[in-house]
Structure 1
């Protein structure tokens, strides 16, 4: 049975506005909470926004600050800032949740074919409920009355994190001071430089990274009408494509990727291997506009080689094993699943109901897809499915079914 807090938060039409009495939306709200001292947990990525927030918090000597960095298998910018955190008097907490992220969030997204309006696989929206969960767990462990993050009004993470924290039943204050305090990048950089932290002066964009996606936005990528992406932003897809093609086989068991070229791999390792092998051929670069809370749209750029390959492979194998009418119905459920994840309602009953349908269909999706990767992209070479619905010899099938029809007609 759902808890009272879960029932309040999980309505698909419930907006975050109902929690304004517990909502931190500007630095003045932090000042009010900080006067009483206590403890605060803040999500810390190592970027400009999160370090600036820590610097502001460090100016409250009675406030015990826990900076939480959650490892999801991506780039670890925060390693470069460890010295700065010590100077600020902040306790740095590292939590490795890459395996949890892959198992509980990415694997369901693969089976749900979670793609934003046909443009790109969903990415950061998968990590936000996990970040919220780890932050709430740490807050409960250390007795923190305040949980902070650094999403701003032009980032969907604002509602995803706030809604997730509320859905988890956190009783303290939470939110982002950047929701109403729109402090520019130049202002933050200048303040940190003056305070003795010059390393942030030349950061030209915001980034988010996990094992499923590397994502870039803001700064030099603000304007959709002109955004040549610097090649040095890319990592997985940065190499010059090899002259020789690659052949790669991906095995699925009940909808879950389990092996590459016959070698069993845990999902984080499997995704990592495909990011490298598919990325070498430039697969998985995406750019597109995503809506924010008021309906406006912002530009985001991504590289997701493993996601590109795994979502395609899953659909191929699903087509080989799942009846057509079930697949048609699943298309609408996929959009429902994706919408609920994108809107921050991961812990809601509607997303869980959609997930139950997706998981039931996935039970049939077992087999192997073999690809050829080359400079032109990817091509399917073989589909091998357990309990397959496809025909391997049409002529033989036609002869057999024709004889059956004749026998039926003469009986």
Structure 2
């Protein structure tokens, strides 16, 4: 009789390596590993051999980098969505596409369950499970760290478990930063970062970047071209979105751009402290905002601030596949129809400095903005506007004045 199958979200790290024999032993499943390539680069090396050595029946490695960039990252950038004014959502928008591909593998393999190794304290458990519920409500989800049968509580326990099952892998019990990497960013948690009173040890921590102090003493100019809110060229060279992000990561990392240290509010209620490196994403986000400044009217820009805040919360909370997020994206897509143009910036020691923005759809009129009177605007027109615009304030002050005079008369 054939065994039932489970699809494991596999990274090749110690946790997911230990989970393979645990799933086989605890539930009697055949384990199908699926590693979704969102831009981890060297972290993918040797995974096929490691998965099979650990007892997996099969390993899928699925490259989704372009889909991630075009259908998840850029819609988030276009929405001006930033969580708690700092976090550019690098881990958050990668989880739903990973979940989507896990579901596709589960359907292909006829699996009855999907397993992930996210902890019970973090946000990723919501992002994985809400996405799976939205896409495949019939498939069972196994969250190892929340299962009563999972008794391992440390790296030492996991290493001992692997060795007991004949799996001798190059992991040791020495703790290091907890990291998550994709094409957009890399996050760091743990060690000295667990105490907000500690300054990060940037010499050991940084992977994509240097600190501004170690950045070049000379600035560097870059040019970005956008069409309908999507980047299409860097320094005059046409590129797809993923390649632009990769190049911007190199440029931004070189100049110490996009390093943030944040204490954020997790969905589960606790605060956590982390350091994020998002060099290319920070540049791309700032360039997009600069172009919107030129091409969007005041009402749309103000409303987009509300949309961006809600959009960021939905993505952070794992609700990518909800109706509201999809509806907000439809609104955002409409706002992007004229976000086309050229942005020039200067990179210097952690700073992104405006160096000129142009667009065929600009709403900036030099003749209107100048101090000289033009055909479309007469300085005298402002008098009536100010009278009407401030009428409610004036009426309130007049009524307050009358009440004060009446009170003074009654007190004499």
Pairwise TM-score range, normalised by the shorter structure: 0.7 to 0.9
Decide which of 284, 290, 302 is 1:328's aligned counterpart.
Answer: 302
SS state of the match for residue 339, structure 1?
helix
Which ranges of structure 1 fall in alignment gaps of 5 or more residues?
1-34, 407-411
SS in 2 for 1:115: coil
Measured in 2, the distance between the counterparts of 1:227 and 1:75 equals 28
Alignment deviations for residues 73-125 of structure 1 (CA, whole Å, 9 cap, x no partner): 22342424443322223111100000110111001011011211102211111
Query: How many equivalent residue pairs?
Result: 373
Q: Is 1:399 the counterpart of 2:374 in the alignment?
A: yes
Q: Which residue of 2 aligns with 1:218?
A: 190
Query: Is contact 1:46-1:79 (8 Å) kept?
Result: no
| C-alpha contact (below 8 Å) 2:12/2:50 kept by paired residues | no
Q: Distance in 1 between matches of 2:273 and 2:371?
A: 53
Residues 1:301 and 1:175: Cα distance change in structure 2 (over 3 Å) = farther
Match of 1:52 in 2: 18
1:268 aligned partner: 242
Q: Contact (CA 8 Å) 1:84, 1:197: kept in 2 or not?
A: no
TM-score by length of structure 1 reads 0.84
Task: Give, in angstroms, the shift of residue 397 of structure 1.
Answer: 6.2
In the other structure, the counterpart of 1:19 is none
**Residue 255, structure 1, aligned to residue 229, structure 2:** yes
TM-score, normalised by the number of residues in structure 2? 0.84
Mark the CA change 1:259 to 1:106 in structure 2 (over 3 Å): closer, same or farther.
same
Task: Out of 335-344 and 196-205, give the one that drifted further.
Answer: 196-205
- Tell whether the 8 Å contact from 2:17 to 2:54 is kept in structure 1 after alignment: no
Task: Give the one of 200, 224, 236 matched to 2:171.
Answer: 200
- Preserved contact between residue 257 and residue 349 of structure 2 (Cα < 8 Å): no
Alignment CA distance shift 1:81-1:221 (3 Å): farther
Answer yes or no: is 1:83 the counterpart of 2:49.
Answer: yes
Max radius of gyration: which structure? Answer: 2
Which whole-Å CA distance do the structure 1 matches of 2:350 and 2:51 have between them? 46
**1:300 Cα deviation after fit:** 2.1
1:108-257 pair list within 5 angstroms: 108-180=75-147, 181=150, 183-192=153-162, 195-201=166-172, 202-219=174-191, 221-226=193-198, 228-238=200-210, 240-257=214-231
Structure 1 residues 131 and 268, CA gap change in structure 2 (3 angstroms): same
Secondary structure of 1:199's aligned partner: coil
**What SS does the corresponding residue of 1:283 show, helix, strand or coil?**
coil
Distance 1:125 1:198, change over 3 A: same
